Amino acid sequence: MTDSLLSIRDLTVRFRLPQGETVAVDGVSLDLSPGEVLGIVGESGSGKSQILYAMMGLLAANGRASGQVSFQGQNLLALPPGDLDRVRGDALSMIFQDPMTSLNPYMRVGDQLAEGLIVHKGMAGTQARAEAVRMLDRVRIPDAAARARRFPHEFSGGMRQRVMIAMALLAKPRLLLADEPTTALDVTIQAQVLDLMAELGRETGTAIILVTHDLGVVARLCDRVVVLYGGRVMEEAPAEVLFDAPAHPYTRGLLAAMPRLETALTPRLGTIPGTPRSGGAVTGCPFVDRCEVRLPRCATDRPPLRDLTAFGPGRRAACHLTGVS
Ligand SMILES: Nc1ncnc2c1ncn2[C@@H]1O[C@H](COP(=O)(O)OP(=O)(O)OP(=O)(O)O)[C@@H](O)[C@H]1O
Ligand SMILES: [Mg+2]
C-alpha cells in the first residue's frame, strides 16, 4: 500500500510464564491509510489489546514483541524509549478502557490537558490552557472554562471518558488507538462518546484503530474490520461487506450469534459453541476445535491469510475452505 500510515508485518507477542511461553499475538499483518477507521473485533483473549500495547511499547514485563510496526516510516518496535515517548505524545495516542487509570487524580483536568501541549508542542502555558478549554468545549463538557479547574473525581464517568478523548486528540495525532473506550459507560452514553470520537477524528484527519466487542459499533463507525482469533487475523474486509458476506466460518459464527442489529441497541459478540482458545502457537487453524466445516488438514496445516478476489476488493481470510473453488 503506497499511502500507508501504519504497516504492521508479522507482529508476534510472546509472554514468558513459569510453565513456558505463550503466544498472544501470532503473526499479525495489517495496513492503515491516513484518516481511516479500522475496527478490531474478537472474543476475550484473542489478542486485541496486546496488539495495541505492543505498538505503544506498553507490554507487561514478561512480554516481548517481534515483527515490524512501521508508523510514518519508523519501526516502533525498534525505537529507543526516548524516541518512542516523543511519538506517543505527538503523532500516536491511545484511549484506555478505564479513564480513571489514565487521569491523574491530583491534577486539575485543564492542567493535565495543557501539560501535553506544553511538553510535546512547546506551547506557552496560557495558550495551552486556552486550547485545553477549547477542546473540552468541543467534547461537550458544559461550562468548560470552570470545569477545567476541577479534578477528575468531580466528573461523571461519561464526562471523564470525553476528557480522555479530548486529551487524546488535543495534539492532533495521526493515529489514535482506542481500546474498548466505552465499555465502562451506559449504553446510551457509549454511542454518543464513540460518535464524538469518530467525528473529531474526521475533523483532525486522525486515523483510528478501534478495539471493540460490539459489532454494531463496527458497522456504524469503521471503514474496515479485522477479525481476530487466537492471536491471528481470521478475516479482513470493508465493514459494510463483512456483515453481508462473511468469508470465514469464525466470522459467520460471530454474526449468527449476534442479536439482530435493528433490534438491539448494542449487539455484543454472541456465543459460538465451545471455548475460545488462547495461548496461540497451534500448528493448524486456531478455530479448528469449534469449526463446523473443518477438514482434516485444518488441524495440521496453518491456513495462510489469502486475498479473496472473488469476494471483492480488500478482502482476506485465513481458511482452507475459503477462496478456493
Ligand atoms: N502479562 C501476561 N502474561 C501472560 N499472558 C498474558 C499477559 N497479558 C496478556 N496475556 C494473555 O494474552 C492473551 C491476549 O490478551 P489480550 O489482552 O490481548 O486479549 P483481548 O483480546 O484484549 O481480550 P479482552 O476482550 O478481554 O480485552 C490472553 O490469553 C491473555 O491471557
Ligand atoms: Mg483487551
Neighbours of ion ligand 2 (CB under 5 A): 49
Q: For the chain, what percent of residues have pLDDT higher than 90?
A: 58
Query: Amino acid letter at 292?
Result: E
Q: Are 179 and 49 in contact (CB under 8 A)?
A: yes
Q: Which one of 15, 26, 213 would you pick to mutate in the ligand 1 pocket, going by the greatest count of ligand atoms within 8 A of its CB?
A: 15
Cα dihedral 215, 216, 222, 225, rounded to 10, equals 20
Q: What is the pLDDT of residues 64-120, one digit of tens each?
A: 999 999 999 899 999 998 899 889 888 999 988 776 777 899 999 999 999 989 988
Contacts 24+ apart (CB under 8 A), 237-246: 237/311, 237/314, 237/315, 237/316, 238/312, 238/313, 238/314, 238/315, 239/39, 241/311, 241/312, 241/315, 242/218, 243/215, 243/219, 245/311
The C-alpha R_g of the chain, in whole angstroms, comes to 20
CA distance 162 to 165: 5
**pLDDT at position 98:** 73
**pLDDT at position 143:** 96
Ligand 1 surroundings by CB, under 6 angstroms: 15, 17, 22, 24, 42, 44-50, 60, 62-63, 278
pLDDT at residue 194 greater than cutoff 50: yes
Residue with more model confidence, 31 or 254:
31
Averaged pLDDT for residues 143-156: 95
Q: Which residue has the cell 480513571?
A: 100
Q: What is the pLDDT of residues 170-179, one digit of tens each?
A: 888 999 999 9
Averaged pLDDT for residues 296-321: 92
Q: Are 253 and 271 in contact (CB under 8 A)?
A: no
Q: Are 235 and 317 in contact (CB under 8 A)?
A: yes
**pLDDT at position 267:** 45
Q: Are 144 and 136 in contact (CB under 8 A)?
A: yes
**pLDDT at position 323:** 62
CA distance 137 to 106: 22
Averaged pLDDT for residues 248-258: 86
Q: What number does the ligand 1 atom closest to the CA of 46 have?
A: 21
Give the domain 6-91+173-317 fold: Rossmann fold (3.40.50)
